[in-house]
Amino acid sequence: MKNAELPFQIEHIDDDLNKQLLNDYNGERTGFVQVGPERYFFPSKFAKEAQHYYNFKVKPDDTWVITFPRSGTTWTQELVWLIANNLNFKKASSVPLANRFPFLEFSTFIHEELKEKFLKENEGYPDKLEIIKQIICPAYETLNEMTEPRFIKTHLPFSLLPPHLLETGCKVIYVARNPKDVAVSYYHLNKLFKTQGFKGDFEKHWDYFERNLNAWTPYWSHIKEGWNHRHHPNVLFLFYENMNKELGETLHTVADFLGKSLTKDDVQALKQYLDIKNFKQNRAVNFQSLKEVGILNNGAQGFIRKGITGGWSEEFTPQLNQRADKWINENLGNTDLRFPGIC
């Protein structure tokens, strides 16, 4: 089948702004682009790889988890994978989540200079080099080689994904989380990953977030695209706040969506496995291996953080909170989207 032409434009960021961004995000070495009418923000490599995402061959038995970053993605992935695979805790604990549930566009965020740096730093360590090679290999290539039912993670909005995604029969779980908690968690992630390399404070990070100059922003465009698909029979739209508060109900909802059923014992076993205290220590999901091969910065908060709602107050000053509330209210004003108990 011939690849479809991209229906959206990809434009490079203004030179002066690009220079400022490269100074603050030293994981990228070339520059940044904005994509489509919503101007989704990505590192320069996206211009070369966008066609692979848009023309990715979807299969009817795929299961996708789509989120804006730091919306409870990893937790949701493991929850979904376990339910779909009949609570195979042994495999879940022994095979890294990244292998079971590849991240479609992560290769876009590994600049060639960083790739060479990671490979050189791990020379002489075959096990570590294997981890690096798995990470730098584009997931769309890995996924195309899989013969068993695939589980796919992406932060791309619907408009940048294959246009027939929802018509193939595959299942899509979209998770939304309130923007204050997202922004705080995203700030710590961008400081943690060398592929991002953010060097500023939270206020500067929020400024970029609000101005749609963080990867995968605009946040509101992303969330609204998900919200607008919530009634599609192949989409399950969830709020992280509800998932966190009513995990048992969420487990049954996801199971029903995936055509599975859970006993009371199943629910209890899942709750224990997914408890944040256990989840943080689980090497299959906490990306400790990335720290060991030098992709994560020392001294930053871990990949799995607190798993709570309302933790945003740790970073927001009263003035910044007032500014954020105004921005949130403005963007919710023309929609029926509301975050449970928060916005």
Catalytic residue list: 155
Side-chain-side CA neighbours of 307 within 13 Å: the count stands at: 18
Which helix (H) or strand (E) segment is 192 a member of?
helix 179-192
Q: Write out the two tokens for 267.
A: 């629910």
Residues forming beta bridges with residue 151, ordered by sequence position: 63
- Residue 134: CB atoms within 10 A of its CB come to 15
Measured CA to CA, the distance from residue 202 to residue 313 in angstroms comes to 12
Tokens at 148, concatenated: 């068993």
CB–CB of 322/223 below 8 Å? no
Which among 137, 134, 172, 136 has a CA at the least distance from the CA of 58? 172
User: Whose structure tokens read 């049954």?
Assistant: 252
What is the rounded distance in angstroms from the CA atom of residue 95 to the CA atom of residue 254? 22
The label of the residue with tokens 């496995």 reads: 273
Cβ-contact 175, 65 below 8 angstroms: yes
Are 208 and 214 contacting, i.e. CB atoms less than 8 angstroms apart? yes
Share in percent of the chain as helix, strand, coil (round to 5): 50, 10, 40
